[in-house]
Amino acid sequence: TMPDPALERCSSCFFPTEFHEVPLVSIKAINHDTKVFTFGLPEGASLDLPVCACLLLRGYDDKGEPVIRPYTPISSNDIKGSFSLCVKVYEKGTVTQWLDKLQPGAMVGFKHIPFNIKA
């Protein structure tokens, strides 16, 4: 679904400055510890992330507490309906281990804040 248009935005990015959840659509293994995670956006919607910017992903630790990490998508803003992250899964990486256990259909929260624009 589209984020509430009343939510604050810091750029043209699909994601507001508050977390908005989107579904994990697919996972593709690149090698033994790196995967491409593709997330769904509404049909026809582009991530529209500014150059030199990243997203904040909300994962969870073993106790269910939120843990936030920045990620830079690898997909072009020309792509509609999805975006992708290339992630190395670290043995002791809290968020990468959480992400690696997800199945397609799981909802993952992202946001975009002014601090993460490096233009």
Q: What is the mean pLDDT of residues 49-78?
A: 92
Count Cβ atoms below 10 Å from residue 115 Cβ, excluding itself. 11
Q: What is the mean pLDDT of residues 26-49?
A: 96
| Residue 118 reports pLDDT greater than 60 | no
> How far apart (Å, rounded) are the C-alpha atoms in residues 112 and 50?
10
Q: What is the mean pLDDT of residues 34-50?
A: 94
Q: What is the pLDDT of residue 1?
A: 84
- Determine the Cα angle at 44 with ends 107 and 70, to 5°: 45
| Full-model pTM | 0.92
Question: pLDDT band at 61, cuts 50/70/90?
Answer: very high
CB contact at 8 A, 82 and 25: yes
Query: What is the C-alpha radius of gyration for the chain, rounded to an integer number of angstroms?
Result: 14
